[in-house]
A and B are shown apart, each in its own frame.
Chain A
């Protein structure tokens, strides 16, 4: 890290469920345009950390900052709702299971939130949907329902839906883990294209090859701590920590 102010700043993140501590004092700075991968065994806390960044899984200790705004503020319910709904518009999120709205068409999936939250006209919303779908190569399916799409297509629409809010950051929570192997690539390509546009991204993934080729930085997490972090060429080729080595041995050969 240089002395540049971090874009996303996770300060001493701590989270427990009862006596189980899933995040143990994690700090993480991401600068604008940076792409960070978080890897680690399941149960390591990587998804919890990602979901804490937009306060979907609130921390029990520590702070999350996006630029000059604190995300996880302790406010009375009404004020908190107002605050978090504003902040979340700037943080796009993509889920493992897509979570498209099944009762809405692809177009409506994309335009619902911009219409509700930004009050844009139907015409502008349609244009927005077309733009975003073109980006993910899904223009032809604009009036389909999610159930008529393959997993890879669903995920591309989910990415378009998040992008339609014009977020400053994109969070990917194992975006390709639920996909059939032959559908992973089309989603990876969309994420690569986003990387080339210098979108700031935090990516929780099991795809080591993808993390290596796309990310600027890799964090290896285990048991609620960041065990090791660094540029992908170091983490993947020459990890120092034994736990990282063991994990990668299993995943790179598997």
Chain B
């Protein structure tokens, strides 16, 4: 292993890692928004909204994220959607993880004991008040860990946008291979940096989960 080479190029990898982190953070925020809306739709009283939510989830989960990115980035201009690679990356990844988060959030909400809804409703509280003050505070605690799994997947998933030439960590590794002919070192370095990001994120999620548990 060529450690001198790694020491020489790692600052450029760290810069690229910042792009990876930006992609992850922005797409996770978008994903959470899509997930919340998706869960709302899937749990709606209206059949048309439930159908829309279910369609979103099955289309996204039924196709490769890479194809979704390609459709958005390469196919988009054909139907009048012009995005630069970074934008396409954030939107594509966000909408993708949003479908998984939809199921996570919905699962946590329906996992709250039905007796909680009954108790709240018999006191005279409305459907929304019950959701806001009784169900969601309990569901939020239940969803931290599974959302953590989604977030973990998303951080690794950002590597896909190398395929639409966003200059993030994986793309940068590929680029340096082109000039150094050292794929082992370059991918090894990129892998280590992914691991550090994921490890730190995991610590954050554990901390949040511990803090949120009901005494």
Contacts and interface: CB of A to CB of B under 8 A. Distances in A.
Are A and B interaction partners? yes
Interface of A: 54, 56, 77, 81, 85-89, 91-93, 95, 97, 99-103, 112-113, 116-117, 145, 147-148, 158, 161-162, 165
B123 A161 contact: yes
A158 B115 CA distance: 12
Given A95-B115, A112-B133, A116-B133, A102 B124 contact: no
Given A116-B133, A147-B214, A54 B122 contact: yes
Given A145-B214, A145-B215, A101 B116 contact: yes
- Give the contact-size bracket for chain B: 20 to 34
Given A112-B133, A145-B214, A145-B215, A101 B125 contact: no
A116 B138 contact: no
A109 to B, nearest CB: 9
Contact of B118 (A77, A91, A95, A161): A95
B123 A99 contact: no
A110 B183 CA distance: 64
Interface of B is mostly: helix
29 contacts: A56-B118, A85-B124, A87-B124, A88-B121, A88-B123, A89-B123, A89-B124, A91-B122, A92-B122, A93-B119, A95-B115, A99-B113, A99-B115, A99-B116, A100-B119, A101-B119, A101-B120, A103-B137, A112-B134, A113-B120, A113-B123, A113-B125, A116-B129, A116-B133, A117-B124, A145-B215, A147-B215, A148-B215, A165-B124
B108 to A, nearest CB: 13
B123 A103 contact: no
A87 B126 CA distance: 12
A147 B127 CA distance: 25
B211 interface: no
Contacts of A102: 138, 214
Contact of B122 (A77, A88, A101, A117): A88
Contacts of A91: 122
A117 B133 CA distance: 13
B8 interface: no
B147 to A, nearest CB: 18
